[in-house]
Structure 1
Amino acid sequence: MPETPQGPRTTVPRKRDREEVFVEFTKSICPLCKTPVDAQVNIRDDKVYLRKRCREHGEFEALVYGDAEEYMSSARFNKPGTIPLAFQTEVKDGCPSDCGLCPEHKQHACLGIIEVNTGCNLDCPICFADSGHQSDGYSITHEQCERMLDVFVASEGEAEVVMFSGGEPTIHRHILDFIDLAQARPIRNVNLNTNGIRLATDHNFIAELGQRNQVPGRSVNVYLQFDGFEERTHREIRGRDLRTFKQRALDNCAEAGLTVTLVAAVERGLNEHELGDIVEFGIDHPAVRSVAFQPVTHSGRHVAFDPLDRLTNPDVIKLINAQRPQWFRKGDFFPVPCCFPTCRSITYLLVDGEPGNRNVVPIPRLLQVEDYLDYVTNRVMPDAGIREALEKLWSASAFMGTETTEAQLHATAQALDCEEACGIDLPEAVKNLGDKAFMIVVQDFQDPYTLNVKQLMKCCVEEITPDGRLIPFCAYNSVGYREQIRAQMSGVQVADVVPNALPLAAQLTDTAYGSKTARHASASAGEGNPE
C-alpha cells in the first residue's frame, strides 16, 4: 500500500442508497398460516410492494399497485367514512381478527353480499369462493336469509344494495323468494351475481326476474360473469366454453328489461388483451350498462401465479387506455373515496351514436371531479347537492340501472356545460344522461398475499354471514372467515390452507415461479361468483 506523509493510505468504505423507498408500516397476515404479522409498504421501480415476515414461514412480498405516483397521489381522495347504525362485534384482538363489523372499522357497508349457497353448476379453475360440490357445502334457509337481511338493515337503515351470490345463486330453489324478502325491506337495489347459465336456458326464471325489476322504488340488476371472447379464456378461467350461454343470457336480459354489469376476472397473461373488446361489446349491447374489471383474487382456488408480477388497478386502466385510445386517456378514471382509494377506480362515459360510430366522452373531462370529492386540499366546496350526487356516483353502491344512480346522474347533468367545459357539443346526451351513461369499475380485491389492514379497515363491501356479522369482503376471503362459516354451516372442518404460496426466498431463487407450484385443483371445483 502506498504511503503518504501522514502514513499508509486507507480505503474508506462508501455507503450506498437502498434500492427502494420505505413508505409505511402496516399489518397483514401470513399467506400460509393466516397469523397477523407486521408488514411494510415500499416503492421501487415506480411500483408499490407489500413485504411481511412470518416467524414460522419466512418472508413474503407482493406487488400491490403498479403505479407508485398514482398510489401516493390517491391519498387526497381518502374522505371520512360513515359510522354504521350498529356494530356486531367487539374489539378484542384488533384488525383483522374481530370482524363483524367492530367499532374500529372506518366505513359503513355500501354493498352487502349474501352467499346463498356454495354449490355451483360449473367447475372453474379460478374461484375465490372455492365453490362446487364439496362435502362441506351448504345452502341458507328462508329464515337465515331473513336474519341476514335484517342485520344489514339494522346496520344501514335504508340500505343501498344487497347482492345475492354463491356458489351459483340461481340454482338455489328459493332465490326468487330471497329477492322478494329483500324488496320487502328498505333495501333499494338487488344484484344477482351469476354465471348466466340459468338466464340463458330458463325463460320463466328470467321473466320472474323482470317482473321484480318493475317493483316501484326497487330494482333487480344482473352481475354477469363475463371474462372475454376467446375460447382459451373461457376454458382456463371457467373450465368450459360458455360464449353461447353468455350471449343468450344477455339477449334474454334485454328482452326482460333487466340491466346487466359485465364482470371480468382478469389474469396476467390470459385475457388482459380483451379488455377494450369487453368495454366496446358492453356499450353496444342494449342490456349492458356497466363493466367491472377485477384482477384475479388469489384466494380460494386459482392457477399458479407470481405475486411479484400480478395485475393491479393501474395496470388494468393502462390496458383499457391502450386498447381503446380513441376513447380513453390518462386521467379518465378516479379513485373511489368511500373505500380506501387504491382499492377501486371508476369512470362514467357519455355514449352517443351507433355501433361502429360511437361518440364516447368520459364524464371526468366535463367537470373537475376533484372539486367535488377532494376533502383534503383547501378548496371552496361547490353546491352540496351536486357534491352529494357525485359522491354517490363515485361509490361502491353505484350500479347502473338503479333509481339511485339515475337520480345522481341527473343531478350531475345539471352541473355540466359540455360546450363550455370541453368544447364538445353533446346537449342531447346531457339531457338524457341516465340513458346515455355507461360505467366502468376497476376493483382489486385483496388476497392473503396483498392484504393490508390499513385498506381493510375502510372496506365498504361486506359479507353478511348467517350468524349475523358483516365481514369485510377481503377479510372474509383471506383471513379464514370463509372457512369458519363453511365449517359452522356444514359441520365439516375446512382446511384453512392457501395453495401456491412460497416464502420470498423461494420466489427470488426461481423466476419461473409458477412452474414450481402445482395448480390447486379440486374434483369438486365450481365458480358462481364472478371474480
Structure 2
Amino acid sequence: MENQPDLSNSANSSSKTIPPISDTTPFPTSRLKQDADYVFFELTRSICPECRRVIDGHILLRDNKVYMRKRCPEHGQFEGLVYGDAQAYTSAARFNKPGTIPLAYSTQIEHGCPHDCGLCPEHQQHACLGIIEVNSACNMNCPLCFANAGAGFNLTLEEVEGILDHLVETEGNPEVVQFSGGEPTIHPQIIEMMKAAKKRNIRHVMLNTNGKRIATDDDFLQQLVELHPSVYFQFDGFSSETYRILRGEPDILTLKLRALDRLAEIGANVVLVPAVDRFVNLHEVGAITTFAMQHPAVRGISFQPAFQSGRHGKSDPMQRLTIPDILKALEEQTGGMLLVSDFVPVPCCFPTCNSVTYVLNDGDTVLPLTRVLNVDDYLDYITNRAAPDLSEDIKSALEGLWSSSVVPGSDKAAQQFALSCAACELPDGLDLAAFAKNIFMIMLQDFMDPWTFNQKNLMKCCKEILLPDGKQIPFCAYNNVGYREQARTQLQARERQRNQARRASLPFTPEPLTFSFAQK
C-alpha cells in the first residue's frame, strides 16, 4: 500500500483542473426533435395506385383535412386527399349503423379482402342498391367515365334474369335495382330487362342514363310511361365548357333539357347526377340546385365528386374534391338556403362516404328537415344508442330516408318523411301533407379511387355491381382493384363465343366468371 502514488497531489496526477461552470458558459449544440406536421389517426389497408398491390395505408390529419399516405415496395410513396374537413371526418363515427347481413353469400373467404368479392362472409353490409351494367357500349365518349365505356359486351335477357333471381335470393325483397352501362338505353332489350325486375317485385327500378335516347325517341319514351322507372340522369351544369371537358360534347345541354322536359310530361321521377370537378364545375353546384328544385320532373340531386377511376383526365390526388368542399360551395352559392349543418352522414354505408338532406320545397318555402327535427340524435348509434326518449318509429323512418336505397319521389319516401315530421313542431302555415308531397333530396356520394381506397370503408359498401353467375362486387372494389377489367374481358369473350355457337347452331354454356389477383 505504501508504494501507491498519492492521487491527492496534483504533481502526481495526470488530470487537469476543471474550471467551474458559469452562467455564461455555452453548452455544446445538439439537434432538436421536431413534431410531425400531422396527426396519425388510424391504420388501414389500401392499394398501390400503380400495381394494385394491397398495402398499408396511413390516415393522417393535417390542417383540418384528411389524407391517406401509403408506400408500395415497388412504386414508392403516394399521398392523396381523402376528406376536406378533419373535424367532420372524425366525428362521423357516431353515425355508423350496424350492418344488415344478407340472406346468403356468394363467395368464401380465401384470399382476404378485397380479393374475395362477393359478397363474402367478411362483408359488413347487404346490398342497399344493386347495379346491373347491361352493356359496355355508349352513345357518348366522355373524357370522364369510371366505367371506361366502349365496345365490349351486352348482357342477355337470360343473364339479367339470373342476376335478378340471385339478388332476390340474397336480399329477400330488394329495394332498388339500377340499370346502368355503358349507356343502358341503347341495349336492345333494356325494356324487357326492366320488366323482368318489376315482375320480381323489386320495389324501385332505376334507369341510369345520359338522356340522349329519351330526348329523341318517342317510342322509347312511351315504353317508359308503362314502366315508370326512376331516372338517374347525368347533368353536370350549364356551361358549354363544363360539357366539353367532362363529356366531350360542349353543345349537349339543349338535348339534356329537352329530355328532362319530356320526362316531366310523362310524370317521371328524376334524380340529377352531376359529376363535380374542383376546377371545372364546382362553381355551378348552386345553380344546379336551384334549377333542380324548380323543374317539375326532378325530385333530387346526387352530387358525385369526380374520382380517378376508369377514364379520367390528369389530376392531382392532393387536390381531389370531397364532400365537405361541395357542402361549403352549396352554402355559399345558395346564399344560405342550404347550410353545411343541414347535411347528415348516411349510416348504412361508411358515414364519410355519403351525406344527405331533405327539404320541404313547395315553391315558396325551402326548409331542410334537419332544421325542425334533430336528425343527429336519431341517427347517432353510439352516444344515443339506448336513449329512451327517441321514438323507434321516427328513427326507423329516418333510417329509411338516410339510406342508399331511398328513391326520391316514391310513396315510401313520402311516408317516411311525413312520419319523421310528425315529431316536429311544424312552422305556421305548413301542414303534414305539404311536407310529404314536396320533399326534395340532396345527396353527396364520394367514391374511392386508387389513391384513397380504404378497405375499412369498402367492407361496409352497400352499392354492389351485380354480375352473372351470382357475383356481387362492392362498387369501389369493382372500379379500383381489377374486377372491372377482368369481368369485361370475360364477358366480351363470352359474347363472342355465344355468337359463334349461334351461327353454328350449337348449344352454348358459358364458363362462370372468375377473378384472380397476383399479390407480390
TM-score with structure 1 setting the length: 0.87
Cα distance per residue 1:261-292 (max 9 Å; x no partner): 00000011100000000000000000000011
Cα distance per residue 1:425-449 (max 9 Å; x no partner): 2423x32223211000001101111
Contact kept? 1:372, 1:381, Cα under 8 Å: no
2:91 maps to amino acid: S
Cα distance in 1 for partners of 2:413, 2:219 equals 28
Contact kept? 2:145, 2:311, Cα under 8 Å: yes
Shift of 1:381: 4.9
Cα distance in 1 for partners of 2:49, 2:265 equals 45
Q: Choose from 215, 220, 226 the match for 1:200.
A: 215
Shift of 1:204: 1.6
Q: Against the structure 1 CA distance between its residues 60 and 381, is the aligned structure 2 distance closer, same or farther, given a 3 Å change threshold?
A: farther
Cα distance in 2 for partners of 1:404, 1:144 equals 30
Contact kept? 1:264, 1:292, Cα under 8 Å: yes
Counterpart residue number, 1:62: 80
Shift of 1:148: 0.6
Q: Choose from 403, 406, 431 the match for 1:395.
A: 403
Q: Against the structure 1 CA distance between its residues 13 and 237, is the aligned structure 2 distance closer, same or farther, given a 3 Å change threshold?
A: same
Cα distance in 2 for partners of 1:344, 1:381 equals 27
Q: Choose from 295, 300, 316 the match for 1:285.
A: 295
Q: Does 1:164 align with 2:176?
A: no
Shift of 1:326: 3.5
Q: Against the structure 1 CA distance between its residues 8 and 255, is the aligned structure 2 distance closer, same or farther, given a 3 Å change threshold?
A: closer
Q: Against the structure 1 CA distance between its residues 407 and 8, is the aligned structure 2 distance closer, same or farther, given a 3 Å change threshold?
A: closer
Cα distance in 2 for partners of 1:9, 1:452 equals 49
Name structure 1 gaps, 5 residues minimum.
214-219, 420-424, 493-531
Counterpart residue number, 1:5: 21
Counting aligned pairs with the same residue, the percent is 52
Counterpart residue number, 2:370: 364
Counterpart residue number, 1:228: 237
1:137-148 mapped onto 2 (5 Å cutoff)? 137-148=152-163
Cα distance per residue 1:367-390 (max 9 Å; x no partner): 110221111004335221111000
Cα distance in 2 for partners of 1:467, 1:447 equals 26
Cα distance in 2 for partners of 1:283, 1:264 equals 14
User: SS of the counterpart of 1:126?
Assistant: coil
Cα distance per residue 1:120-163 (max 9 Å; x no partner): 00011110000023xxx000001100111111111110000000
1:427 maps to amino acid: L
Q: Does 1:404 align with 2:412?
A: yes
User: SS of the counterpart of 2:33?
Assistant: coil
Q: Give the count of matched residue pairs.
A: 472
Contact kept? 1:349, 1:437, Cα under 8 Å: yes
Cα distance in 2 for partners of 1:144, 1:37 equals 35
Higher RCO (C-alpha under 8 Å, 6+ residues apart): 1
Contact kept? 1:163, 1:193, Cα under 8 Å: yes
Q: Choose from 419, 424, 429 the match for 1:416.
A: 424
2:227 maps to amino acid: R
Counterpart residue number, 1:311: 321
Cα distance in 2 for partners of 1:406, 1:66 equals 32
Which has the higher mean CA deviation after the structures are superposed, 464-473 or 114-123?
Answer: 464-473
Q: Choose from 176, 179, 193 the match for 2:191.
A: 176
Contact kept? 2:230, 2:270, Cα under 8 Å: yes
Cα distance in 2 for partners of 1:439, 1:9 equals 67
Cα distance in 2 for partners of 1:226, 1:186 equals 29
Cα distance in 2 for partners of 1:96, 1:435 equals 42
Contact kept? 2:373, 2:421, Cα under 8 Å: no
Counterpart residue number, 1:447: 449
1:352 maps to amino acid: D
Contact kept? 2:307, 2:320, Cα under 8 Å: no
Cα distance in 1 for partners of 2:218, 2:331 equals 38
Name structure 2 gaps, 5 residues minimum.
1-18, 495-520
TM-score with structure 2 setting the length: 0.89
User: SS of the counterpart of 2:243?
Assistant: helix
1:408-487 mapped onto 2 (5 Å cutoff)? 408-419=416-427, 425-428=428-431, 430-487=432-489
Counterpart residue number, 2:498: none
Counterpart residue number, 1:119: 137
Which entry has the higher C-alpha Rg, 1 or 2?
2
Contact kept? 2:458, 2:476, Cα under 8 Å: yes
Cα distance per residue 1:166-220 (max 9 Å; x no partner): 000000000000000000003100110000000100122112111112xxxxxx1
Cα distance per residue 1:478-518 (max 9 Å; x no partner): 000001100111129xxxxxxxxxxxxxxxxxxxxxxxxxx
Shift of 1:118: 0.3
Cα distance in 2 for partners of 1:73, 1:320 equals 21
Cα distance in 2 for partners of 1:29, 1:404 equals 39
Counterpart residue number, 1:22: 40
Contact kept? 1:22, 1:43, Cα under 8 Å: yes
Counterpart residue number, 1:350: 360
Q: Choose from 176, 186, 206 the match for 2:201.
A: 186
